[in-house]
Amino acid sequence: MPLLTVTDLRTWFHTRNGVYRAVDGISFGVERGETLGIVGESGSGKSVTCYSIMGLIPQPPGRIESGTAVFDGVDLLHCTPAQSRAIRGKRVAMIFQDPMTSLNPYLRISEQLIEPLRIHEKISRRDALTRALAMLEEVGINDAARRIHLYPHEFSGGMRQRVMIAMALITKPELLIADEPTTALDVTVQAQILELIKKMQRELGMAVIFITHDLGVVSGLCDRVQVMYAGRIVETSDTRTLFYSPKHPYTRALQRSIPSMQAKGTELFTIPGMPPDLSKPISGCAFAPRCEFAVERCHREIPHLEPVTPTHTQACLRVQAGEL
């Protein structure tokens, strides 16, 4: 029984310019203690998926058209506000891409750190502060006893992300959703933060959903990876299989366009064209217009995820027909 099971999730945005199908029918599960990577380009729906699970979609214009997200027996998309409060922020926590904008600039770090504890655990302020201090030390902030009373602007980008992580983990969640937590950071700081997430995961035994566009980050961190394109999952498997024997043409193209995978001085492989406009209905496979293997059938039939092996599924019609 997976910790989180998402089934047929559809999140659409109803805008003046039409219905934007940001997430269009995706299903996946996360096991306890597992790290799942969600990879895709901007606009592929990877963030909207997680925002939907966390109830952070602004409604309107957003609307969850269908689907369930069952976390330990409770459907997060259709539960009572009280049920949801007991889970979100306590048993499921989230960290965001930009640590500059996701901390409140008017509040001291100490206030922001103890807030989840005061809400979820009904403990005294003094006890909460002790826990907060221990947590700050845990995430590697030196001189935590002094720094806990500072404001966010007094911290560097990497330190703010550490504070965000401390805030998310202070209630010892079972699932952490990390939305591009290292994209805004330097590579050296990124390495520190990735090590920290791995360490905290080992200590707390939590599951992690890691959203990123960087295949390099995924390769070292994740147990399983799913690749999204235009609001759907196109391929999902364990990390090794995805890197060493990818099946879907989009996954392969994505991998081939990484500069370090290609000989220097050669023309870099590029995926022609641009991702589709999600406000227009897509007939057939969304990747077909950019796919070098597309045939007439790809523009007509909608592909569905089908297993290649029990742990590897993909959604390319031609691979499924054994043509590729």
Partner 1 sequence: MADPILELTDVQTHFPIYSGFVRKRLVGTVKAVDGVTLAVERGEVLGLVGESGCGKSTLARTIMQLVPLTGGTVVLNGKNLAANSATEMRETRRGMQMVFQDPYASLNPRMTVFATLAEPLLVHRVCPAAEVPARVARLMETVGLAPRFVQKYPHEFSGGQRQRIAIARALALEPKIIIADEPVSALDVSIQAQILNLLAQLCRSMGLSLIFIAHDLSVVKHISDRVAVMYLGKIVELGTAEDVIDRPRHPYTRALVSAIPTPNPDVERARQRLVLPGDPPSPIDPPAGCAFHPRCPYAQEKCKLAVPPLIADGPNREVACVRLGEI
Number of residues that bind partner 1 (CB under 8 A): 43
Point out which span in 5-13, 21-29, 59-67, 240-248 binds partner 1 (CB under 8 A).
240-248
Q: Is residue 239 involved in binding partner 1 (CB under 8 A)?
A: yes
* Residue 224 three-state SS: strand
Quick check: 207 and 3 in contact, CB under 8 A?
yes
Among positions 278-297, residues that touch partner 1 (CB under 8 A) are none
Q: Is residue 217 involved in binding partner 1 (CB under 8 A)?
A: yes
Q: Is residue 269 involved in binding partner 1 (CB under 8 A)?
A: yes
Please, which residue, 110 or 190, has the CB nearer to partner 1?
190
Q: Is residue 274 involved in binding partner 1 (CB under 8 A)?
A: yes
Among 80, 143, 153, 260, binds partner 1 (CB under 8 A): 260
Q: Which of 264, 250, 259, 166 is nearest to 216 (CA)?
A: 259
Q: Is residue 198 involved in binding partner 1 (CB under 8 A)?
A: no
Closest separation in Å from C-beta 238 to partner 1: 9
Point out which span in 64-72, 77-85, 180-188, 309-317 binds partner 1 (CB under 8 A).
180-188
Among positions 137-166, residues that touch partner 1 (CB under 8 A) are 156-159
CA torsion sign, 176 to 3 to 174 to 220?
A: negative
Chain centre distance of CA 28: 12
Pair of tokens at residue 64: 């969850």
Among 143, 267, 292, 296, binds partner 1 (CB under 8 A): 267
Q: Is residue 195 involved in binding partner 1 (CB under 8 A)?
A: yes
Please, which residue, 40 or 303, has the CB nearer to partner 1?
40
Please, which residue, 68 or 255, has the CB nearer to partner 1?
255
Q: Which of 185, 134, 122 is nearest to 158 (CA)?
A: 185
Count H helices and E strands in the chain, helices first.
Answer: 11, 12
Among 5, 192, 279, 320, binds partner 1 (CB under 8 A): 192
Q: Is residue 259 involved in binding partner 1 (CB under 8 A)?
A: yes
C-beta atoms surrounding 238 within 10 Å: 14
Q: What is the DSSP string of 26-89?
A: EEEEE-TT-EEEEE--TTSSHHHHHHHHHT-S-TTTEEEEEEEEEETTEETTSS-HHHHHHHBT
Kindly write out the interface string for residues 24-63 of this chain, putting x where it contacts partner 1 by CB under 8 A and - elsewhere: -----------------xx---------------------
* Nearest-angstrom CA–CA distance, 199 and 196: 5
Q: Is residue 219 involved in binding partner 1 (CB under 8 A)?
A: yes
Strands 224-229 and 232-238: antiparallel
Q: Is residue 98 involved in binding partner 1 (CB under 8 A)?
A: no
Among 245, 262, 283, 309, binds partner 1 (CB under 8 A): 262
Burial class (CB in 10 A: 0-12, 13-18, 19+), 292: exposed
Q: Is residue 119 involved in binding partner 1 (CB under 8 A)?
A: no
* Nearest-angstrom CA–CA distance, 246 and 258: 15
Q: Is 305 left (phi over 0), alpha (psi -120 to 50) or beta?
A: beta
Give residues in contact with partner 1 (CB under 8 A): 41-42, 156-159, 186-192, 194-195, 213-220, 239-240, 243-244, 253-255, 257-262, 264, 267-271, 274
